[in-house]
Chain A
Amino acid sequence: MQPTMKTISSKNHKKMKEQSYVWYLFLLPALIGIILFMVYPVLESFRLSFFSSNGVKETFVGISNYTQLILKEEVFWKAIFNTFYMAIFQVAIAVPLGFVIATLINNLPHFKDLFKVLFFIPYITSLVAASMVFMYLFHPEMGPINYLLESIGLPGINWLSDPLSAKWAVIILGIWNWMGFVIVICIANLQTIPAQLYEAAEIDGANSFQKFAYITTPKMMPTFSFLLIMGFIRTLQRFGETYTIGGLEGSPMRSLYTIVGFIYDRGFNGTEYGLASAAAYILFMIIMVVTLINMKLSKMNV
């Protein structure tokens, strides 16, 4: 009896081993994609960042692309400042506001789905198309937003021609576009909090504020951390809307000039491939650091 068992299992083993090659076949498309569109471009971009290159002629320049960006390119610093300014305010407003709205929707007995749809539609809309509409909404004389402000006695704002208010116009557009995502993610995670926790708290005489502060908020910490990370990754790569509204130079007065705008401007308009690659690597580092900080902070809170 025993020998036959052994032969069968060793036969199976051999077959398993042969078949292990088949898995690489399953992985083939993914592997081709990773090598061609990830590994190669990431390494090549890193190499390029140490060269001066216009696509035809290349010379090794060491770290001078990086030093030029950091020490000499004022517009690059401007781009970093603009990008962070808009990123921080968009995330800092959209996450808490979206969370509050999600809590309100989640506690309603009716119309939950209707509200989800209403708040979510902006998220599926292309930011480029939305920018075009918002350019009219923010029109200083004929735009509905100033009309609304003036009708309640507030002064109108020269939204897109003043550097500060232009940034806020983009922030408002960003919040409008992204908050639906925050709401949907928050509702989904609110529903995973076990109802027994609330029931037990009620028996202990907790009011709704206490339940919100001591059960809901701590339970939602991982969700907030996820939203902060996603929000910063999204907003630090901002380009489509600022390019549509402010053009190549991020007008007015480069107030909408972003890091990706810089990469596009210098890399494809100015064919400074080396400098643009260095800027792209700095963006990569920034996103990594911001993500790690967010992860650390959320771990400390939990």
Chain B
Amino acid sequence: MTSYSNKWKKKKLSNMIITAVLLVAGLLMVAPFIYMISVSLERTANLIPPFPPRIIPEDLSSFNYMLAFESGEIITAYLNSFITTSGGVILGVITSLLGGYAFSKGNFKGKKVIFVIVLSTMMIPFQTRLIPMHRMFYNFGLTNTYWAIILPRMLDGFGILLCKQFFDQLPNSLREAAQIDGGTELNIFRRVFLPLTGPITATLVILSFMACWNDFLWPLIALTKNSLQTIPVYMSSFATQDSNGYLAGLTMATATLSILPIVLVFLALQKYIIESIALSGIKGE
């Protein structure tokens, strides 16, 4: 009896130690965010970055945020990111749902071959396609338009794979019942299957939102006009202008604003986002 309670006590103690260690490590992970926010709220941070570093600003003010908004460039960048991200997400989700459904429930010539091609698209790095993609969009006069960012999202091999696996889990009897009632394939998809796709659609939206919002290389190449910069491209051009490090306050305010939307989305949906990522890792094997 005593040895049992001793063991239990020992376990409790070790849990406390582990929790404390993880808490320190976890705080280290969020420390850059804390530093970023605290410097952004320091009025005098543009003359001298606060030193020694402190968490609570001495001269608390929203001055740097006013400065960040002053030129209006960041609002344009928000708008550009918002349009290209939502367009890309919608296009990618539609393509993946329809494609995944066809590969799961369809019966047609070339199914296996096309599916292998879809899977192999995941292996080819984007940079291999970069130059021809740019020349193609340039020749069609589509560089420096939102289409350049939105249209390539029509290709999402991983999204198609996730959707195929999702539809594979739904019983074929659903289709057969609807077929006897004489429904066309399109109607069967729309009436029977589409209402069931809530969870997989949410996963696709989350994964594709994160990919689109943070995408850097392609928008950097395809959108060269300042008025069309997305948030990451705007941030990067901002960083190269400020390489002397004398505008810490403004830089941190801009950085805070640039990650705010995705952090808010994450905090609101953290459970689903973490589940989606975990799913992508388990399926990815």
Q: Take A23-B108, A27-B98, A291-B123 as given contacts and tell me if A118 and B30 are in contact as well, using a CB distance cutoff of 8 Å.
A: yes
Report how far A189 CA is from B278 CA in the complex, Å: 8
- Of the stretches A73-81, A86-94, A163-171, A261-269, the one at the interface is A261-269
Are B125 and A287 in contact (CB-based, < 8 A)? yes
Rounded to whole angstroms, the CA-CA distance of A24 and B102 in the bound complex is: 8
What's the minimum C-beta distance from B216 to chain A, rounded to whole angstroms?
Answer: 4
- B6 on the interface (CB 8 Å rule)? no
Quick one: which of B95, B134, B251, B254 has the most chain A CB within 10 A?
B95
What 0/1 readout, one digit per residue, does chain B (153-195) give for beta carbons within 8 Å of chain A? 0111000100000000000000000000000111001000000
Interface residue? B199 (CB, 8 A): no
Q: Are A55 and B129 in contact, with the CB atoms below 8 A?
A: no
Within 284-299 of A, Cβ neighbours of B (below 8 Å) are at 284, 287-288, 291
Residue B221 at the A interface, CB < 8 A?
Answer: yes
Contact residues of B between 50 and 81, Cβ < 8 Å to A: 50-53
- In the bound complex, how far is the Cα of B213 from the Cα of A221, in angstroms? 33
B 11-41 to A, binary, CB cutoff 8 A, 1 in contact else 0 = 0000100110110011101111101100100
Interface stretch (choices A41-49, A61-69, A199-207, A209-217): A41-49
Interface residues of A in 102-129 (CB under 8 A from B): 104-105, 107-111, 113, 115-129
Asked if residues B239 and A132 are in contact (CB atoms below 8 Å), the reply is yes
- What chain A residues lie within 8 Å of B184 (beta carbons)? 19, 22
Contact B102 A26 (CB under 8 A): yes
Does A157 count as interface, using CB distance less than 8 angstroms? no
B229-247, CB < 8 A from A: 231-232, 235-236, 238-240, 243, 245
Residue of B nearest to A122 (CB): B29
In the bound complex, do residue A23 and residue B102 qualify as a contact, i.e. CB atoms below 8 Å apart? Answer: yes
Counting CB contacts under 8 A, is B128 at the interface?
Answer: yes
Is A226 positioned at the interface, with any CB of B under 8 Å from its CB? yes
Task: Check A42 against B123 for contact (C-beta < 8 Å).
Answer: no
A280:B127 contact, CB within 8 angstroms: yes
Report if A52 contacts B (CB, 8 A). Answer: no
* Chain A nearest Cβ from B120, distance in angstroms: 9
Question: CB of B258 within 8 A of chain A?
Answer: yes
Contacts of B7 in A (CB 8 A): none
Taking CB atoms, residues of chain B closer than 8 Å to A143 are: 53
A156 → chain B, closest Cβ, in Å?
12
| Complex Cα gap A28–B216 (Å) | 28
Which one, B51, B101, B243, B263, contacts A26 given CB within 8 A? B101
B252 touches A26 (CB 8 A): no
Residue numbers in A under 8 Å from B106 (CB-CB): 20, 23, 26-27
B binding-site residues for A, Cβ under 8 Å: 15, 18-19, 21-22, 25-27, 29-33, 35-36, 39, 48-53, 91, 94-96, 98-99, 101-103, 106-109, 111, 114, 117-118, 121, 123-136, 151-152, 154-156, 160, 184-186, 189, 210, 213-214, 216-217, 220-221, 231-232, 235-236, 238-240, 243, 245, 248, 251-252, 254-255, 258-259, 262-263, 266-267, 270-271, 273-274, 277-279, 281-282, 284-285
The 4 tightest CB contacts between A and B, nearest first, are A33-B154, A188-B278, A41-B129, A118-B26
The 22 listed contacts between A and B (C-beta, < 8 Å) are: A20-B109, A36-B136, A41-B133, A108-B19, A115-B26, A126-B216, A136-B39, A136-B251, A142-B51, A181-B281, A184-B281, A187-B278, A188-B282, A192-B282, A222-B285, A223-B285, A239-B217, A264-B221, A267-B131, A268-B134, A280-B125, A288-B123
Residues of A within 8 A of B (CB): 16, 19-34, 36-42, 44-45, 48, 55, 101, 104-105, 107-111, 113, 115-137, 139, 141-144, 147, 176, 179-181, 184-185, 187-189, 192, 222-223, 226, 230, 233, 236-237, 239-240, 243-245, 247, 260, 263-264, 267-268, 273, 276-277, 280-281, 283-284, 287-288, 291
